[in-house]
Amino acid sequence: MRKHAVPFLVLGVVLWWGSTRNYLLFHSLAELWSVVIACLIGFLGLAVPRRERNPLAAGLGVLYLAVAGIDLLHTLAFKGMGVFPGFSANPSTQFWILARTLETAGLLITVLFHRKKSFFPAFSSGVALSSLAGLALVFSGRFPDCYLPGTGLTPFKIATEWVLAAVLLFSAALVLRSEEPATRPYRAVLAFSLLLTAAGEMAFTLYTDVYGVMNMTGHLFKVASFYVLLVGVVLKSLKDPLYTIYLPILQAQEAFLKELTGPSFVLDAQGRLVVSNRGVAPGATLGEILPREACDKVNGWIQAVKATGKTIRDSLCIRGRVLDLSVQALRDAEGAFAGTAFVSLDRTEEQRLADSLQQSENRYIRLFNRMQEGLALHETIYDDSGKPADFRFLEVNPAFARHTGIPSRGIVGKTVRQLFPRVDPLWLERCREVVREGKTVSFSGFSIDLGRWFEVTAYPMGGSRFAVCMNDRTAEKEAQRLLAEKENLYRALVEDMPALVCRFDENAVLSYVNDAYCHFFGKSREDLVGKSFFDLLPEEARQAAKQQFLSLTPESPSVTYEHEVILPDGTIGWQRWTDRALFDKEGRRTGFQSIGFDLTGERLKQNQIRLLSSIVERSLNEIYVLDPRTFRFEYANRGALADLGLTAEELTALTPMDIAPPVSRQWLAEKTAPLLSGAQDGTSFTTRHRRKDGTE
């Protein structure tokens, strides 16, 4: 405001000098000044589309358009203008009181109630009706007299001016104390303008001549008041429309960015911050938003998208947090560069989980593939009467293929009777018992088809599936440890998975989906928008999902949950969704916004790891894991612990030298050195173990 002080002083001096030469000209210029500024405020407040308006600016726009019209009538009816023949100074003063009453009451109502949903239509109607009613009273001669020739101001006019001044001061106090977003951009200028207007109203209680000094003083205060509105409302709105008349757009962008887990922001064409989800003040530079070590890389991406127009999707680590990000250039209506959008998702926890799952997966796959015990996963085939008739191979480990002498690809998908037509009926009955009663059984026998003796343990895996563990007891020698690498049992977790974003109403009807959502479900946006996303969920998952988002309130506006989905190929997958309810000013839900991630791969990995863990733990072979430096036991399965008669805590304090006295540290180091160096994948040797009770 300081840089506008000199122009204002020049304007005031010119108007004062003009009042000493031709008061009628001075009065006309002062009033027309306020009429023009009031019209500018009106046009700015109402030119914005309805859903994008700042409610305070829209209310001021309607109010000041009405005030401008009445002030114009006041100017034309002023003594000496001659526009309304037969009018005395009284009608002009009546128009003045009508305009100031409308302005004062309208400003107070706008400040108090602009946040109400029905404010604008009700307020616009009230302003229009009040203006017309007041004008009708003036032109019909029913408006109270305000100025009488020879007497001056009437008690009604003086009392009204003092009441208006008091209300203006009260309104200024309310504005200064307001922290409401729609009021904040105009807070200082509105309060200052109200104070100047109140001072003018006090001056207008003291004149007796409409051409007198106090009348001129009151008009100068009015000129000053509208000058403040010109600078603080009109020019500010033109310079920073996003923070003033387009404030709801900025608030909607900020609400969306807050849903994102990583730092996200929008920069203008000059690289200044427009909005962010980290509470950084608008106008900040990139260096004030991100740590120094990330600025150069992000700035490089910004320059690249500015030059090419292509969106960049990448990942970035900032202070130990792993981010999946997108950098996109923004264009205006003419296609010119208007700024940059930086959106990121914090994937640190997902990455940690992925690393943990990968470590567990690698551990159990190594044990699974290197076990000498043959393992096979079966699915039961039922006959027409519903009884188990045969068993299909779903998966086998390399040891199973070696025991049977049949390659894995020749086993998977075949049934037991197809591969072993002379299978012992007792073996089949024992497998039926596992499926039927859900209990583990162990047995041994001779396979006529393979010509070998086997020791077998079968245990349930849930439903119609069960696993078989078998050891070749035909020869007592150690099974060969070098096994061919088997194709990984699990798919790696999907990396750089984009988030799925959608908006929907209380009936789950989609109003918006992003590209990642469309790509995931294999549908176009036209196929999804306007349809219920319940169509993408299994029947049994719909009610639970509906209960989740319908339970949201202003006090608890968001919820995270998981549910099944129907994948494009018709199978069932899992997703994690964070739903946030959107509310209007009255606290009523207007819709929902949600961000989702696919959990299908993660769920499958967890199930498969549990399967491998169960297989290893139930193995009849003794399985140990040693620390390569100290040779202390880190892990042993149930079979090993049972055979030694030790607990897991007791065993982890020991080394092979403690349970196999003939074994020395040097001998064990020589045996394991080729494994640690990578020269060999495995080795075999025979030792005698000493149990806890002293037996071997």
Residue pair 284/273 in contact by the 8 Å Cβ criterion = yes
- Calculate the CA 196 to chain-centre distance: 45
Beta strands, E only, 235-387: 265-268, 273-276, 312-318, 321-331, 337-346, 374-382
558 — pLDDT class (breaks 50, 70, 90): very high
500 pLDDT more than 80 = yes
Residue pair 602/608 in contact by the 8 Å Cβ criterion = no
Question: What pLDDT, on the 0 to 100 scale, is given for residue 581?
Answer: 92
Residue pair 308/281 in contact by the 8 Å Cβ criterion = no
Full-prediction pTM beyond 0.95? no
Alpha-helical runs (H) found in 346-442 = 348-370, 398-404, 408-411, 416-419, 425-437
C-alpha neighbours within 13 Å on the C-beta side of residue 357 = 21
Alpha-helical runs (H) found in 262-313 = 286-289, 292-308
Question: What pLDDT, on the 0 to 100 scale, is given for residue 260?
Answer: 63
Closest by CA to 404, choosing from 472, 466, 455, 457, is 472
194 — pLDDT class (breaks 50, 70, 90): confident
Longest pairwise C-alpha distance within the chain: 135
How confident is the prediction for the chain on average, in pLDDT?
A: 77
User: Which residues contact residue 600 at a Cβ distance below 8 angstroms, ignoring those fewer than 6 apart?
Assistant: 567, 573, 574, 575
Least confident range of 206-220, 301-315, 507-521, 632-646: 206-220
Question: What pLDDT, on the 0 to 100 scale, is given for residue 236?
Answer: 62
428 pLDDT more than 60 = yes
Residue with tokens 């009604």: 156
CA distance 360 to 490: 12
Least confident range of 239-243, 327-331, 388-392: 239-243
Residue pair 277/263 in contact by the 8 Å Cβ criterion = yes
pLDDT tens-digit profile of 14-26? 555 655 566 677 7
pLDDT tens-digit profile of 523-532? 998 999 999 9
pLDDT tens-digit profile of 589-634? 999 999 998 888 887 777 777 777 777 777 767 777 888 888 888 7
Question: What pLDDT, on the 0 to 100 scale, is given for residue 495?
Answer: 31
Least confident range of 91-95, 245-249, 550-554: 245-249
C-alpha neighbours within 13 Å on the C-beta side of residue 670 = 5
Question: What pLDDT, on the 0 to 100 scale, is given for residue 507?
Answer: 92
C-alpha neighbours within 13 Å on the C-beta side of residue 671 = 15
Rounded to an integer, the average pLDDT of 505-516 is 90
Supply φ then ψ for residue 387, to 5 degrees.
Answer: -100, 145
Question: What pLDDT, on the 0 to 100 scale, is given for residue 2?
Answer: 52
More confident residue, 375 or 252: 375
Question: What pLDDT, on the 0 to 100 scale, is given for residue 237?
Answer: 56
Provide the edge-to-edge strand list for the sheet that holds 312-318: 273-276, 265-268, 337-346, 321-331, 312-318
Question: What pLDDT, on the 0 to 100 scale, is given for residue 19?
Answer: 52
Closest by CA to 368, choosing from 472, 271, 487, is 487
CA distance 489 to 507: 41
User: Which residues contact residue 537 at a Cβ distance below 8 angstroms, ignoring those fewer than 6 apart?
Assistant: 545, 563, 564, 565, 566
Measured from the Cβ of residue 675, the count of other Cβ atoms closer than 10 Å reads 14
150 pLDDT more than 80 = no
What sign does the CA torsion over 43, 44, 45, 49 have?
Answer: positive
Beta bridge partners, 513, equal 502
347 — pLDDT class (breaks 50, 70, 90): confident
191 pLDDT more than 50 = yes
53 pLDDT more than 70 = no
What sign does the CA torsion over 229, 235, 238, 241 have?
Answer: negative
**Whole-angstrom distance between the N-terminal and C-terminal Cα of the chain?**
96
Question: What pLDDT, on the 0 to 100 scale, is given for residue 591?
Answer: 92
Q: Which range in 37-51, 84-98, 127-141 is most confidently predicted, on average pLDDT?
A: 127-141
pLDDT tens-digit profile of 309-333? 888 888 888 777 777 888 887 765 4
Question: What pLDDT, on the 0 to 100 scale, is given for residue 533?
Answer: 92
522 pLDDT more than 50 = yes
